[in-house]
Amino acid sequence: MTRGKFITFEGGEGSGKSTQARLLADRLKVRGIDAVLTREPGGSPFAERVRALLLDPATPSHSALSEALLFYAARADHLDKTIRPALAAGRWVICDRFSDSTRVYQGVAGGLSGDALGALERLVVAPTQPELTLFLDLAPGDGLARARARGATPGVALADTDPFERRDPQFHERLRAGYLAIAEAEPQRCVLIDGAGAPDTIAAEIWGHVERRLSQFHERLRAGYLAIAEAEPQRCVLIDGAGAPDTIAAEIWGHVERRLLQGVP
């Protein structure tokens, strides 16, 4: 069973990443790819309980380290219960926020050292790193206005009142700079998307990136098969799959006869 692909969405408040994560999961399903849509904090029963604590305005103030440890406690369970089993079963996982959020919210913007966060990431996440991370970039003022306009929409419970949205403007500027720095430092994994466009235009751009990587994925699969066939010619036969089914069947029968039926009465 080939492991599924792990795609994460990141961005500041109101950047549209939850909408885009849903649109991508829907589109993958149409393409016949079984995709699980999940989110952080949350995504498993325990992690959802931790989410409620983290986003509850009544939760007493605490350090960036305490906060990061809670996000990582939730993430460890989310990986164990939801993400890793899905990937192992060949399903794709689309996650709305992941460890880059901790790097920027608790790290760059919250002041926690990169060393501390790197250690947590190695302990909890490695080797389940996303193959692709889509950063939806939007000027913080525009994003916050969108997040407020969205109000108490069902399904985004607590969003309007969550303590992260109520931080000062500099905090949100630091978030954005943090995301841009990660995208620049890890171009293999990260793609920066302008979040200011219309949702459909953004969805098409995202699909383009996923397709390019998807086709690379199928090419790598093919190269893998060709390498096995070359390395084990005693056992393997390469058949051109482009012909008519009858022609291919006749060729296969020829191989079966020559290799397996010689001497069989």
Binding of residue 38 to ligand TYD (CB under 6 A): no
Binding of residue 55 to ligand TYD (CB under 6 A): yes
Region of 85-93, 159-167, 180-188, 240-248 interacting with ligand TYD (CB under 6 A): 159-167
* Cβ neighbours of residue 168 closer than 8 Å, sequence gap 6 or more: none
Of 197-236, binders to ligand TYD (CB under 6 A) are none
Q: Given the complex with ligand TYD, which of 70 and 210 has the nearer CB atom?
A: 70
Binding of residue 10 to ligand TYD (CB under 6 A): no
Amino acid occupying residue 46: F
**Residues facing 6 on adjacent strands:** 93
Identified binder of ligand TYD from the candidate list 6, 7, 8, 13, rule CB under 6 A:
13
Measured CA distances, 72 to 44, 119, 130, 162 (Å): 13, 11, 16, 19
Min separation Cβ 193 and ligand TYD, Å:
16
Alpha helices in the chain (DSSP H): 17-30, 45-55, 64-78, 84-88, 99-102, 114-124, 140-150, 169-185, 199-231, 245-260
Give the H or E element holding residue 221. Answer: helix 199-231
Q: Given the complex with ligand TYD, which of 181 and 236 has the nearer CB atom?
A: 181
Min separation Cβ 58 and ligand TYD, Å:
16
Of 81-110, binders to ligand TYD (CB under 6 A) are 97, 101-102, 105-106
How many residues touch ligand TYD under the rule CB under 6 A: the total is 16
**Which of 227, 237, 233 lies closest to 257, judged by CA?**
237
Alpha-carbon distance of 127 to 43, in angstroms, equals 19
Binding of residue 40 to ligand TYD (CB under 6 A): yes
Binding of residue 41 to ligand TYD (CB under 6 A): yes
**DSSP summary character for residue 80:** I
Residues at the site binding ligand TYD, with contacts judged by CB under 6 A:
13, 18, 40-41, 55, 71, 97, 101-102, 105-106, 156, 158-159, 162, 164
